[in-house]
Amino acid sequence: MELTSVYLTEELAALRQRVAELEASEAVRRRVEAELRGRAYQQAMIAKLGQRALAGGDLDPLLDEITVLVTLTLKVDYCQILELHPDRDLLRLRAGSGWPAELIGQATINADPNTHLGYTLFSSKPVIIEDLRTDPRFNESGQLYGHKLVSGVSVIVDGQQWPFGVLSVHTAHKRKFTQDDIYFLQSVANILGTTADHRRTQLALQDANDKLEQRVKERTADLQAANEELRNFAYIISHDLRAPLVNIKGFAGELDYSVDILRAALNPILPQLDDTHRDDLMTAIGQDIPEALDFINSSVSRMNSLINAILKLSRLGRRELLFEAIDMTVLVQDTLASLAHQVEQTRTVVMVDPLPEVVADRTSMEQILGNLLANALNYLIPSRPGQITISGQASPEAITFRISDNGRGIAQDDLSKIFDIFRRAGQQDVPGEGMGLAYVRTLVRRHGGQIHCESELEVGSTFIFTIACNLAEESEHDV
Amino acid sequence: MMSNVQAVTILLVEDDPGHARLIEKNLRRANITNQIMQAGDGQQAIDYLFKEGRYAGSPHDPPLLVLLDLNLPVLNGYQVLKRMKEDPSTRRIPVIMLTTTDDAREITKCYDLGCNVYITKPVDYQHFSDAIRKIGLFLSVVSIPGGGY
């Protein structure tokens, strides 16, 4: 019995010990489980924030969301995000939870390193405060905007070039923050820092884009003003330059009448004059005056035709274009048919590749092809049969046409000026006013295209021009 | 030749004295003997037509015809034409635009404002003379409403 009793007592003690152990391990298990749950929850929150940050959009809603989320997750009384002023001397309360709404975006605090917020800006690690009132690192009363703060953690929200600011949490009572809590806050600050940096870059990019757009607008306005000036110029030419010509030509005509009257009046009295006077008079009335008037008249006519050429150019630049689908192969054949006599005379072989269809103004295309083909035929070398090739190629942006000849070619030095008004290159043995290629270039430009020439003397020239696609949808191109 | 109509004066509104002289010479060659009243700017033309300014109280009859340039100092041809065609006392007077501009929009604008004929002054003097002679021919057959004011 005694033995049994001892045995039993020992057994009971062991059993009690075992139960106690089991109870203890159960408590540990529960604690660990709770910690794990808490950590998993925090990680889920971090993931959620990360997604929110990646979604883009304004920074402010994200900041608000962060403060609410941190407050709930860490069960703190206050959470605030303070943004560092570019001068680095002020922190502004950009978002906050637990603070009166009127403080958000308004309240500021000096970024003084003797305060825990200023101190955080210089700390690479989270700043953990057990009691703000007694913490020897800071010279603070434990009051912020009239609220009592006791414990807290604050972390820097860092950026690539300069810190965004500080993220901090506070409690109104003493509280010990776990390592998990601190990691969590640090992770939130990291996400926030990256996002703020990204937004900053986006804003800078947007700003650069806006400035670029502004510059484009200004340049466009300049160009429009220049165009307007050119149009006025054309008007001035048509009116103001013509007016004196009317007078010169008119009074030259009047002089002509007067000479006729003089001649008729003088004829009967000529025999009565001495030889010298008679010869002088006859020379003046019969030769000198008519010669002078002829020069005046021909010069005025030349000037008038130059003015008319400039006017025509300005009208080509203003005429309303009607865009339609054009079979260029047919148009080239029609143009060649109108030049058939010259093709035959120059024994020219013309090769026309199948050409792409274009959407363009028909009259303009006729004028472009007419000018270029006539030029190709006009400037051949008479001693050899002519050879002209016309080809075309379509790309998504533009259609390119090439007109090649085996004519006399254009000197390299002259290539840049052949599209200018009144400029002609090479031997001047073919009549022309030097406006053809200027008209062509104006028309090509109005079709959103470009024209240039490749040439070699004695070998031949190739004129290459483009016509932009989708012309019908676009607004008209200004010259 | 115009003895049976009251209006005998032609108003020539032209700021270029050379042009004015050439027009007058050619009208005379076309046997137009009417008095030609010259105005060097739009304001003078308005003053003459409406007896204002320097012509206030003048006893002259309204002109038989107005030859009107477009580019004029003070008031331009459009302004003169517009005022004439808006006013009942002058809107029936035939107006011939005679200008160096052959811009289609300007021609349209003048006809819209009520001009009767638009003539571009040709640089070629033979054509210029022909155009003025034709005005003379037109004048010899034109009938204007009697009574005027």
**Inter-chain touch A245–B128, beta carbons under 8 Å:** no
Q: Quick one: pLDDT at residue A3?
A: 64
Is residue B2 over pLDDT 70? no
B129 touches chain A (CB under 8 A): yes
Q: Which of A247-256, A299-308, A362-371 has the lowest mean pLDDT?
A: A299-308
A472 touches chain B (CB under 8 A): no
According to DSSP, the residues that pair with A465 across neighbouring strands are A401, A451
pLDDT, average across residues B57-84: 89
**Inter-chain touch A249–B124, beta carbons under 8 Å:** yes
Residue of A166, A143, A145, A144 lying closest to A154 (CA atoms)? A166
Shared domain for A100 and A141, answered yes or no, is yes
Confidence label for A2 from pLDDT (cuts 50, 70 and 90) = low
A258 touches chain B (CB under 8 A): no
Instruction: Calculate how close chain B gets to A260, using CA atoms only, in Å.
Output: 15
Q: Which of A12-21, A50-59, A299-308, A374-383 has the lowest mean pLDDT?
A: A50-59
Tens of pLDDT along A104-157?
Answer: 888 888 888 888 888 998 888 899 999 888 888 888 887 888 888 899 999 999
**Inter-chain touch A253–B129, beta carbons under 8 Å:** yes
Shared domain for A313 and A329, answered yes or no, is no
Confidence label for A248 from pLDDT (cuts 50, 70 and 90) = very high
> Mean pLDDT across chain B, nearest whole number?
84
**Residue with structure tokens 């004015």?**
B20
Is residue A48 over pLDDT 90? no
Residues of chain A neighbouring B99 (CB-CB closer than 8 A): 239
Q: Quick one: pLDDT at residue B146?
A: 52
A299 touches chain B (CB under 8 A): no
Is residue B17 over pLDDT 50? yes
Is residue A473 over pLDDT 80? no
Residue of B37, B75, B22, B118 lying closest to A247 (CA atoms)? B22
pLDDT, average across residues A158-180: 90
Q: Quick one: pLDDT at residue A456?
A: 92
pLDDT, average across residues B39-61: 90
Instruction: Calculate how close chain B gets to A235, using CA atoms only, in Å.
Output: 8
Is residue A478 over pLDDT 60? no
Shared domain for A238 and A304, answered yes or no, is yes
Q: Quick one: pLDDT at residue B3?
A: 43
Shared domain for A452 and A350, answered yes or no, is yes
Q: Where along chain B do its domains lie?
A: 10-141
Shared domain for A299 and A340, answered yes or no, is no
Is residue A358 over pLDDT 60? yes
Tell which of A291, A318, A345 closes a domain. A318
B73 touches chain A (CB under 8 A): no
Residues of chain A neighbouring B22 (CB-CB closer than 8 A): 246-247, 250-251, 254
**Inter-chain touch B22–A250, beta carbons under 8 Å:** yes
Instruction: Calculate how close chain B gets to A222, using CA atoms only, in Å.
Output: 25
B3 touches chain A (CB under 8 A): no
Shared domain for A327 and A294, answered yes or no, is no
Q: Quick one: pLDDT at residue A152?
A: 93
Residue A160 sits in a domain whose CATH number is: 3.30.450.40
Confidence label for A271 from pLDDT (cuts 50, 70 and 90) = confident
Shared domain for A127 and A252, answered yes or no, is no
Q: How far is CA A16 from CA A6, A7, A28, A30, A54, in A?
A: 15, 14, 18, 21, 56
Of A243, A253, A301, the CB nearest to B19: A243
Q: Quick one: pLDDT at residue B149?
A: 41
Confidence label for B120 from pLDDT (cuts 50, 70 and 90) = confident
Distance CA A208, CA A217 (A): 14
* DSSP structural state of residue A103: G
Q: Quick one: pLDDT at residue A11?
A: 85
Q: Which CATH number applies to B10-141?
A: 3.40.50.2300
Tell which of A267, A292, A318 closes a domain. A318
Tens of pLDDT along A4-44?
Answer: 677 888 888 888 888 888 888 888 888 888 888 888 888 88
A100 touches chain B (CB under 8 A): no
Tell me the backbone φ, ψ of residue A477, rounded to 5 degrees: -85, 130
Is residue B142 over pLDDT 80? no
Instruction: Calculate how close chain A gets to B123, using CA atoms only, in Å.
Output: 5
Amino acid at A339: L
**Inter-chain touch A242–B128, beta carbons under 8 Å:** no
B22 touches chain A (CB under 8 A): yes
Q: Quick one: pLDDT at residue B5?
A: 44
Our count of domains for chain A comes to: 3
Confidence label for A1 from pLDDT (cuts 50, 70 and 90) = low
Q: Quick one: pLDDT at residue A168?
A: 93
Shared domain for A387 and A282, answered yes or no, is no
Shared domain for A301 and A167, answered yes or no, is no
Q: Quick one: pLDDT at residue B1?
A: 42
Domain that holds residue A152: 56-177
Shared domain for A429 and A445, answered yes or no, is yes
Distance CA A302, CA A308 (A): 10
Distance CA A296, CA B123 (A): 13
Residue of B25, B37, B29 lying closest to B64 (CA atoms)? B37
Residue A419 sits in a domain whose CATH number is: 3.30.565.10
B71 touches chain A (CB under 8 A): yes
Residues of chain A neighbouring B121 (CB-CB closer than 8 A): 242, 246
**How big is the A-B interface in CB pairs under 8 Å?**
55
Query: What burial class does residue B145 get, using C-beta atoms within 10 Å of its C-beta: 0-12 exposed, 13-18 middle, 19+ buried?
Result: exposed
Instruction: Calculate how close chain A gets to B17, using CA atoms only, in Å.
Output: 9
Shared domain for A312 and A348, answered yes or no, is no
A250 touches chain B (CB under 8 A): yes
Q: Quick one: pLDDT at residue A36?
A: 84
Shared domain for A327 and A314, answered yes or no, is no
Is residue A387 over pLDDT 90? yes
Distance CA B113, CA A332 (A): 44
A235 touches chain B (CB under 8 A): yes
Residue in chain A closest to B104 (alpha carbons) equals: A315
pLDDT, average across residues A449-477: 84
Question: In the structure encoding, which two tokens stand for residue B79, read together?
Answer: 């302004």
Is residue A365 over pLDDT 90? yes
Instruction: Calculate how close chain B gets to A196, using CA atoms only, in Å.
Output: 59
